[in-house]
């Protein structure tokens, strides 16, 4: 055990963890909107809209995240037309490519979580709203969405943790996140176990925090 | 289409072999995962606090740390560990372990943590009366496990194990960083030499989609088989 290396690499890895958290939070926020959008499409009765939303979630859940990042980072740059548009400002940055891939990926999983949450809402609750003379729009925003959020909290908590692990793939497109820096230190010192303990410890700590925050929210929003 | 031709002119045969490699690594990793689950599930269910702690540490660490980091640990650490063990036996030459074995082992450990949780949940949800009934029938321990508990565990576990299989299959794409030529690595090579990453990575995505689609169909059949009578 090289204790000195562990102590020396701790601040570097901690700095890198900030980038991991940035990647995570930005992609979760964008992903939540994408997920909500596609969950609503999934509840639509029009078969084409329905199928389209299902296809989106099927493709993104059935392929590895690594392929998705590579298609966006290496693949899209190949299209000449894209290079001439404003989008290129975003797509030439590995940071934004990673975030787009993460957001689309977590959006697919989130849409499934929210869809099943919407579907478990008892029709009686919506009918009760209608009988009180509340408009459909208000029923959706004030009744269906809050119940769906509460229903989906446990599954969404798992998704946050999976996504945090997913952000480690940003290191494959040159971003120096926690895993990226860990790999760099390992490949320069050839001390994989020490670095793994420190970097893994930081990841576990973040998992622990997320887990407890979700648990707290679950309690706060529970019916009883 | 020429890009996918078989033979020297295209990448068809290379990608076909790479797909077989992905399937081989996934199945090997899944089996290694089952072996880990076989060890750790009883530890999880044990009444001994220390054994519980060991099994819980395993599943918590593996499920809380990114797969890529675990793969780097094995990729960089595997050779060192094997050479250390070999040096105890007096062998001091450089040993290079096969990328297939390192990769399958790393993914297998990850897959094992998920399988352990699935089996634990399945065994715990079997009705207590079943264990008691097996005792009453005078079955011995092995008979009780293989005739009564295992079939019911499988019925409950198969839907969740199919999720573990999906995760394992997709995780094998990460072994490409160690140089093992599976779908992802082969697409990387092809994309580099033809300068057509969009086509090859999209094709790789399609291959993964095909693999997940076909395996889901097969698993559904198993599910039907094991839920006879329900």
Instruction: Answer whether A186 touches B (CB < 8 Å).
Output: yes
Count of beta carbons in the 10 Å neighbourhood of residue A190: 12
Q: Which residues contact B131 (CB under 8 A, 6 or more apart)?
A: B144, B148, B149
Domains of chain A: 3-220 (1.10.3720.10)
A156-180 tens-digit pLDDT: 999 999 999 999 999 999 999 999 9
The three state secondary structure string of chain B is: CHHHCCCCCCCHHHHHHHHHHHHHHHHHHHHHHHHHHHHHHHHHHCCCHHHHHHHHHHHHHHHHCCHHHHHHHHHHHHHHHHHHHHHHCCCCCCCCCCHHHHHHHHHHHHHHHHHHHHHHHHHHCCCHHHHHHHHHCCCCHHHHHHHHHHHHHHHHHHHHHHHHHHHHHHHHHHHHHHCCCCHHHHHHHHHHHHCCHHHHHHHHHHHHHHHHHHHHHHHHHHHHHHCCCC
| Contact A1/B at CB under 8 A | no
Q: Report yes or no: B212 at the A interface, CB cutoff 8 Å.
A: yes
Residues of A in contact with B73 (CB under 8 A): 192-193, 196
Q: Which residue of B has its CA nearest to A195?
A: B73
If pLDDT is split at 50, 70 and 90, which confidence band does B1 have?
low
Residue showing tokens 């999976």: A162
Q: With 80 as the cut, is the pLDDT of residue A114 above it?
A: yes
Q: Within the 12-51 window of chain A, which residues sit less than 8 Å (CB to CB) from chain B?
A: none
Instruction: From chain B, pick out residues whose CB is under 8 angstroms from the CB of A204.
Output: 60-61, 64-65
How many angstroms separate the CA atoms of A20 and A167, rounded?
6
pLDDT at residue B28 is higher than 80: yes
Which residues of chain B does A66 touch, with a Cβ-Cβ cutoff of 8 Å?
173-174, 176, 184
Touching A: B residues 46-75, CB under 8 Å: 60-61, 63-69, 72-73
The predicted pLDDT at position A224 comes to: 59
Cβ separation B201–A67 shorter than 8 A: yes
Least CB–CB distance from B69: residue in A58, A172, A199: A199
- Mean of pLDDT values over B127-149: 85
Subunit contact A75:B176, Cβ cutoff 8 A: no
A200 touches chain B (CB under 8 A): yes
Provide, as residue numbers in chain A, all residues whose Cβ is less than 8 Å from the Cβ of B68: 168-169, 171-172, 179
Report field, pTM of the whole predicted structure over 0.80: yes
* A residues 99-158 lying closer than 8 A (beta carbon) to B: none
What DSSP letter does each residue of A96-130 carry, written as one string? HHHHHHHHHHHHHHHHHHHHHHHHHS-HHHHHHHH
Predicted local confidence at residue B4, as pLDDT:
74
CB A55 within 8 A of CB A112: no
Query: Which residues are CB-neighbours of A117 under 8 A, at least 6 positions away?
Result: A147, A148, A149, A151, A152
Cα distance between residue B190 and residue A5, in whole Å: 39
pLDDT for position A47: 92
pLDDT value of position A175: 94
The first and second tokens of residue A48, run together, are 């084409």
Task: For chain B, list the domains and their CATH numbers.
Answer: 16-226 (1.10.3720.10)
Min Cα–Cα distance to chain B from A138, Å: 37
Question: Which pLDDT does position B228 carry in this prediction?
Answer: 77
pLDDT tier at B2, thresholds 50, 70, 90: low
Of A63, A187, A200, the CB nearest to B209: A63
Using the beta-carbon criterion (under 8 Å), do B208 and A63 form an inter-chain contact? yes
- CB atoms B204 and A207 under 8 Å: no
Please give the share of chain A, as a percent, with pLDDT higher than 90. 69
Do residue B198 and residue A74 have CB atoms under 8 angstroms apart? yes
pLDDT at B95 over 80: no
What distance in Å separates residue B39's CA from the closest CA in chain A? 23
* Residue keyed to tokens 């999209």: B202
State the ipTM, two decimals: 0.88
What is the 8-class DSSP label of residue A155?
Answer: H
A33-83 residue pLDDT tens: 999 999 999 988 899 999 999 999 999 999 999 999 999 999 988 887 877
B192 close contact with A: CB closer than 8 A: no
pLDDT value at residue A223:
67
The larger pLDDT score, comparing residue A101 to residue B125, is at A101
- B212 with A62: Cβ contact below 8 A: yes
Does B91 reach chain A within 8 Å, measured CB to CB?
Answer: no
Query: How many C-beta neighbours within 10 Å does residue A27 have?
Result: 25
Q: For position B195, what pLDDT does the model report?
A: 86
Which residues of chain A neighbour B201 with C-beta distances below 8 Å? 67, 70-71, 74-75
């Amino acid at each position: 055990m090289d204790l000195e290396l562990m102590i020396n690499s701790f601040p570097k890895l901690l700095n890198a963890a900030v980038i991991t958290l940035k990647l995570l939070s930005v992609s979760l926020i964008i992903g939540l909107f994408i997920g909500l959008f596609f969950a609503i499409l999934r509840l639509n009765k029009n078969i084409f809209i329905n199928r389209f939303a299902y296809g989106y979630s099927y493709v993104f859940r059935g392929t590895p995240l690594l392929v998705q990042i590579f298609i966006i980072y290496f693949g899209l740059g190949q299209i000449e037309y894209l290079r001439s548009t404003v989008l290129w400002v975003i797509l030439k940055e590995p940071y934004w490519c990673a975030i787009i891939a993460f957001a689309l990926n977590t959006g697919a999983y989130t849409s499934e979580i929210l869809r099943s949450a919407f579907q478990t809402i008892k029709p009686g609750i919506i009918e009760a709203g209608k009988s009180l003379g509340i408009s459909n729009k208000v029923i959706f925003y004030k009744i269906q969405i809050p119940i769906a959020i509460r229903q989906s909290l446990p599954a969404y908590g798992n998704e946050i943790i999976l996504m945090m692990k997913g952000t480690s793939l940003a290191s494959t497109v040159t971003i120096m996140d926690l895993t990226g820096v860990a790999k760099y230190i390992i490949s320069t010192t050839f001390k994989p176990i020490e670095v793994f303990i420190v970097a893994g410890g930081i990841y576990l700590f973040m998992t622990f925090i997320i887990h407890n925050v979700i648990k707290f929210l679950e309690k706060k929003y529970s019916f009883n | 289409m020429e890009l996918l031709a078989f033979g020297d002119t295209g990448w068809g045969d290379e990608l076909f072999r790479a797909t077989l490699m992905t399937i081989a690594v996934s199945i090997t990793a899944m089996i290694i995962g089952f072996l880990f689950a076989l060890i750790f599930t009883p530890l999880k269910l044990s009444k001994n606090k220390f054994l519980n702690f060991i099994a819980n540490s395993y599943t918590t660490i593996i499920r809380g740390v990114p797969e890529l980091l675990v793969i780097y640990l094995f990729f960089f650490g595997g050779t060192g560990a094997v050479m250390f063990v070999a040096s105890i036996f007096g062998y001091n030459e450089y040993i290079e372990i096969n990328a297939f074995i390192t990769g399958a082992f790393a993914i297998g450990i990850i897959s094992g943590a998920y399988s352990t949780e699935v089996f634990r949940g399945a065994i715990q949800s079997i009705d207590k009366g079943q264990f008691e009934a097996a005792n009453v029938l005078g079955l011995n321990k092995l008979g009780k496990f293989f005739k009564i508990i295992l079939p019911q565990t499988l019925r409950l576990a198969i839907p969740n194990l199919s999720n573990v299989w999906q995760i394992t299959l997709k995780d094998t794409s990460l072994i490409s960083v160690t140089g093992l030529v599976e779908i992802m690595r082969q697409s990387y090579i092809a994309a580099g030499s033809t300068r057509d990453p969009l086509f090859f990575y999209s094709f790789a995505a399609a291959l993964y989609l095909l693999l997940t689609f076909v395996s889901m169909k097969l698993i559904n059949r198993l599910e039907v088989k094991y839920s006879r009578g329900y």
